[in-house]
Each structure stands twice: as structure tokens, then as C-alpha cells.
Amino acid sequence: MTEENKNAGEQPQTAPETKAQPAEMPLGLKFLIGRKLGMTQVFDAAGELFAVSVVQAGPCRVMYTRTPEKDGYKAVCLGFGHMTEKNVNAARMGIFKKLDMKPVRKFKEFRVSDLSGVMEGQVANLAARFAEGEYLDLQSVSKGHGFAGGMKRYNFRGGPASHGASDRERAPGSIGSRRSLGRVLPGQRMAGHMGVETVSMQKIKIIKIIPEENMLLVNGSVPGAAGSLVYITKTNKKTPKPMVAKGKTKGKQAPVKAAAPKKAAAPAKK
């Protein structure tokens, strides 16, 4: 064994450097990006059964911010998902190299009124950001149904199945005969492409949160197929107040009036 190998063996091995964990985005910002996983049903604490949609909410990264001085408005851009480097364009790759992170698939800007405490590279997690019982607004893209007829697309009744009209049972019917304008007005409901539209569901209640798995269980259905992206924000609608059980008040009871003594009956006349 040469002296160089001896010296190399005697040198202490240094532990690999660990990257510092990114900071948490301020919890006052109530928005996330998630992915719909499907539907199931759960019982709440009171034993009531709910049909819920399971959404994997986050974790997201703060990619950049928009400021009034530079962009004319205030916004925070979150990134979610993963993608391979070979499919990333040069502009996006510059952002990822600046933040020293792997490429993400989806960028989404959320308008805010205050940017205090927000910095690029922060992480937005589900834990402590939302609570069970809160109400959300969810936005996603609905399922595609291709070219659909009037009965499926707009719930038309269809024509009668008797009197020889065997080929008119699913027809839309008249679309504008005897109109004074002599034409079909724009917006007439007809057969056409159905689905693949941005749909917003407002004031959806959170039934359960599983923070260790970033799972969000919300009441009812969410637009889109399993695997579709969901934008999650706190609702701006008026929400019902939580029910609080009222106990019996310990107040002074009103004094009970004593019953007046009965008068003696008058003697009967002879």
C-alpha cells in the first residue's frame, strides 16, 4: 500500500451536506392546488354518513410573486406536480434552477391583498392551513362527453313515441319556426360538444383532513375525472355559524305567589 493510500484512509470522512428545509408560506393565505383522487363515504363524529370527494391538496411551492410596482397587481404563484426535465422549456427551467428544485408541472396565480411574509421557494402545506368544518370554493375542468344530443346535454324531453314518429323520439324539436326575425337566435340550445368546461363549486364543507397524507375530504362531488387538477380557495360566501349547545341558565327564579285562602262558604238559607 502506498503512502497516498494510507493518508487517504486516515482522513476522516465528512457527512454529506443536507439541504435546509424551505420555510412555510404564511398560513393566512388560504389557497392550494390539489388533485382529485376519487370519491368515498365517511362517518363524522356524530355518526352521520357523508359522500365525500378525496383531494390530494399540496404540498405546493411558491414559484414567484407579482407586485404592483412591477406587474400592476398582487399575486402569489404556486407550483404543483412533477415532470421530467426534458419536457421543460428554457423559461421554466430558469425558475427551477433559481429555486434549486425539481421541475413542477402546473403553475397557478392566486390574487392576494397582502404579500407580507411571502418569499419565493416557500412551501404551502395542508396542515394548519384549513380546518374541518370550514367551507371552500373548488374549481376544476369537467369531464368530456364528446358530441352529445339535446336530451343528454340540456335534459330535453324528446318527442312522442307514437303516431308513426319512430325516428323523432330523441330529436330536439323546433328551433325557431315562425319567428319574426326569420332566423335562429344565438344561444339556442342544440346538440354539440359537451363537457371540458371550467366549473366552480362554491361553499363546499370540509368533512375531514388527513394532514400526514395531505388528504382533503370535502362534502359532495368535485368536477372532473380522477387525476384532474383542483384549485382550492377559501370561500367568500356567507357561511353558517357553528352550532353551539346552550346549557340551562342559572338565574334567579321568580318568586311563586302564594295561593289566596279560600273563603268559607256562606250558610245555606232555610
112, 29 Cβ separation under 8 angstroms: yes
The pLDDT assigned to 201 comes to: 93
Query: Would you state the cell numbers that stand for residue 89, as one nine-digit string?
Result: 422549456
**Cβ neighbours for 184, distance < 8 A, ≥ 6 positions apart:** 175, 176
pLDDT score of 145: 95
Average pLDDT score over residue span 199-208: 93
* 230 within a domain of the structure (yes/no): yes
Domain match, 50 and 156 both: no
- What does the pLDDT look like over 30-75, one tens digit per residue? 999 999 999 999 998 888 999 999 999 989 999 999 999 999 999 9
pLDDT bin (cut points 50, 70, 90) of residue 152 is very high
Percentage of residues in the chain having pLDDT higher than 70: 81
Which CATH number belongs to the domain containing residue 38 in this structure?
Answer: 2.40.30.10
The pLDDT value given to residue 182: 78
Kindly state whether residues 80 and 159 are assigned to the same domain: no
Q: Do residues 110 and 79 make contact, with C-beta atoms less than 8 angstroms apart?
A: no
Three cell numbers at 173?
324539436
pLDDT band at 144 (very low <50, low <70, confident <90, very high): very high
Three-state SS sequence of 161-203: CCCCCCCCCCCCCCCCCCCCCCCCCCCCCCCEEEECCEEEEEE
Range of the domain at 153: 147-175+187-195
No. of H helices and E strands in the chain?
3, 12
Distance in angstroms (rounded) separating the CA atoms of residues 38 and 226: 5
Indicate the number of domains in the chain. 2
Asked whether the beta carbons of 220 and 39 are under 8 A apart, the reply is: no
Q: Please, which residues have CB within 8 angstroms of residue 74's CB and are 6 or more apart in sequence?
A: 65, 66, 67, 68, 111, 112, 113, 114, 115
When mean pLDDT is compared across 72-81, 95-104, 139-148, the lowest value belongs to 95-104
For residue 17, name the pLDDT band (cuts at 50, 70, 90): low
Same domain, 62 and 158: no
